[in-house]
Amino acid sequence: MDTPDKSAPLLATTSVSKAIAEWLSRRILTGALGPGEPLVEAKIARELGVSRAPLREAIQRLASEGVIELIPRRSPIVAGFSLKEYRDLYDFRILVEGYVFSDFAKTATSADHDALSAIIERMQASFAAANITAFRDGISDFHHYVYERTSNEVAGREASNLWRRTARYRNLVAHRSGASERSLKWHGAIVDAMRSRDGAKVQRILIEMLTTVRDEGIPFLTPEG
Summarize pLDDT for 28-40 with one digit per residue, the tens: 877 788 888 999 9
pLDDT confidence band for 139 (50 / 70 / 90): very high
Q: What percent of the chain has pLDDT over 70?
A: 92
The pLDDT score that the predictor gives to residue 11 is 45
CATH 1.10.10.10 positions along the chain are 10-78
pLDDT confidence band for 177 (50 / 70 / 90): confident
The pLDDT score that the predictor gives to residue 13 is 44
Q: Is the C-alpha dihedral spanning 53, 56, 60, 65 positive or negative?
A: positive
Angle at CA of residue 211, ends 210 and 215, nearest 5°: 115
The pLDDT score that the predictor gives to residue 3 is 45
Separation between Cα atoms, residue 176 and residue 188, nearest integer Å: 20
The pLDDT score that the predictor gives to residue 61 is 85
pTM exceeding the 0.95 threshold for the entire prediction: no
Average pLDDT of the residues in 49-69: 88
DSSP string, 102-119: HHHHHH--HHHHHHHHHH
pLDDT at residue 192 above 80? Answer: yes
CATH 1.20.120.530 positions along the chain are 83-220
The pLDDT score that the predictor gives to residue 224 is 52
User: Smallest Cα–Cα separation from 96: which of 224, 225, 210?
Assistant: 210
Average pLDDT of the residues in 97-122: 97
Average pLDDT of the residues in 151-159: 97
pLDDT at residue 93 above 70? Answer: yes
Torsion of CA 152, 190, 205, 133, to 10 degrees: -90
Beta bridge partners of 141: none
Average pLDDT of the residues in 41-62: 90
The pLDDT score that the predictor gives to residue 223 is 62
Q: Please, are residues 147 and 100 in contact by the beta-carbon 8 Å criterion?
A: yes
pLDDT confidence band for 134 (50 / 70 / 90): very high
The pLDDT score that the predictor gives to residue 141 is 97
Average pLDDT of the residues in 194-205: 96
Which CATH number is correct for 83-220, 3.40.630.30, 1.20.1370.20, 1.20.120.530, 2.40.30.10?
A: 1.20.120.530
Tell me which fold the domain 10-78 belongs to. Answer: Arc Repressor Mutant, subunit A (1.10.10)
